[in-house]
Amino acid sequence: MDFALSPEQQAVRDAVVRICARFGDDYWLERDRLGGFPFELHRALAADGWLGICVPEAYGGSGLGIADAAVMMQAIAESGAGMAGASAVHMNIFGLNPVVVFGTDEQKRRMLPPLVAGCEKACFAVTEPNAGLDTTRLETRAERRGDRYVLHGAKIWISTAQVAEKMLILARTTPRADVKKRTEGLSLFYTTLDRGRVEVREIDKMGRKAVDSNQLFIDGLEVPVDDRIGEEGRGFEYILHGLNPERILVAAEAVGIGRAALARANAYAKERVVFGRPIGQNQAIQHPLAERWMELEAAQMMVQRAAWEYDRGMNSGASANAAKYLAAEAGLKACETAMLTLGGYGYAKEYHVERYLREVMITRLAPVSQQLILCYLAEKVLGLPRSY
Ligand SMILES: Cc1cc2nc3c(=O)[nH]c(=O)nc-3n(C[C@H](O)[C@H](O)[C@H](O)COP(=O)(O)OP(=O)(O)OC[C@H]3O[C@@H](n4cnc5c(N)ncnc54)[C@H](O)[C@@H]3O)c2cc1C
């Protein structure tokens, strides 16, 4: 078994680290204070082709795997860009996987290259206020009228909808009461976010101010049939294809931001002198840092295993969920320990760790909560009765 990065992965990491070095701590501190999408990072990554890392070469991408994309996303978060940097490109990396797998050749040619080139950005519109994690209860309706569908409904928490030109949206085409299985009757569309028909209202939130999350109010959005991905009614099945890669990438980002926090805490522990010696000479400071290092490394191994399974076409459900769970916990603890190591200064924005602490919390909430991961593992791995 080889635990090292492959030469290609090392090259991915080196190149992404070089790009991210152009966006230092002050850049992210300002984005955190003022908001404003990090267009500059998005453009820089697009210019060197990184947005197409997982897109097949035939459509302008590099055709690499999720393991390689995880290296890239981790490097972005670890650079100090945190979740603000990672989320600015996250959806573009894996999000159009249903198009890659289920789209027609015409759709792939139309939809993928603009995303890779960075001239279009996409958001992912699944979550709804009245459905929450119970996705099959979503209420947004898509009614077929000739060669188009007309959509009505509401979505919530949709990230990057302020700046996205396109959205991948899941809507109900057959009422829940009329389908045999609750996962049927939902359809997937990749279409233009027409702001004349979709009101996008930003949610004021705890962290990651640079990357907006929004309520969407959809009133008569017209979607050409050509923008439907795959067959009508099978959208839920299609989005499942993107869920495991998304969990793996979020996990990689959580390890990345945790490592950024740990590096800051470690450097501070060496420099800060109190009672006539560096605080890092005290075991009460050293031991939590050593524990955090172990937890991040262990989570990282689960990320690699999940990516390895996914890239070989194996069932990666258990390890992708476990990776997301373990990495989110390890990332959070690393950020909290970093703040405590810096003492009062940890609470000051200019030392950056309080920003990491606010941002890392996202990885525990989305794209799926920690509780639901435990429910999934209990059912699918341990064979216990379904509890939700
Ligand atoms: C910053 C941010 C960005 C996001 N970006 C996007 C995006 O771009 N696109 C998108 O579609 N969504 C996005 N989301 C939504 C995110 O995926 C959801 O918030 C998440 O899936 C949880 O849904 P909910 O908030 O409605 O929680 P709910 O479903 O209301 O659950 C609330 C709590 O109850 C727990 N719970 C519920 N049922 C059970 C049960 N049976 N057993 C145990 N615990 C249970 C949950 O674990 C959770 O802790 C984002 C969320 C955040 C915070």
Ligand 1 centroid–CA 135 distance in Å is 10
Distances (CA, A) of 265 to 28, 52, 169, 269, 280: 18, 34, 41, 6, 9
Q: For the segment 288-345, what is each residue's pLDDT rounded down to a tens digit? A: 999 999 999 999 999 999 999 999 999 999 999 999 999 999 999 999 999 999 999 9
**Is the minimum distance from the CB of 122 to ligand 1 under 6 angstroms?**
no
Q: In this predicted model, what pLDDT tens digit does every residue of 90-105 receive, in sequence order?
A: 998 989 999 999 999 9
Residues 6+ apart with CB under 8 A from 326: 251, 295, 298, 299, 302
- Tens-digit pLDDT profile for residues 243-254: 999 999 999 999
The answer to whether the CB of 217 falls within 8 A of the CB of 201 is yes
Q: Is the CB of 104 under 6 A from ligand 1?
A: no
Task: Output the CA 369–ligand 1 centroid distance in Å.
Answer: 6
Using CA atoms, how far residue 270 sits from 241, 286, 336, 346, in Å, is 45, 10, 18, 15
Angstrom distance (rounded) from CA 192 to CA 346: 43
Q: What per-residue string of b and e applies to 153-162 under the rule 16 or more CB within 10 Å gives b?
A: bbbbbbbbbb
Ligand 1 pocket member 326 (CB < 6 A)? no
Both tokens of residue 290?
A: 């050593």
Cβ of 368 below 6 Å from ligand 1: yes
The Å distance, Cα 212 to ligand 1 centre, comes to: 16
pTM: 0.97
What pLDDT does residue 363 have?
98
For residue 1, pLDDT over 80 is answered with no
**Single-letter residue type at 345:** Y
Residue 11 Cα distances to 23, 67, 249, 271, angstroms: 19, 13, 18, 32
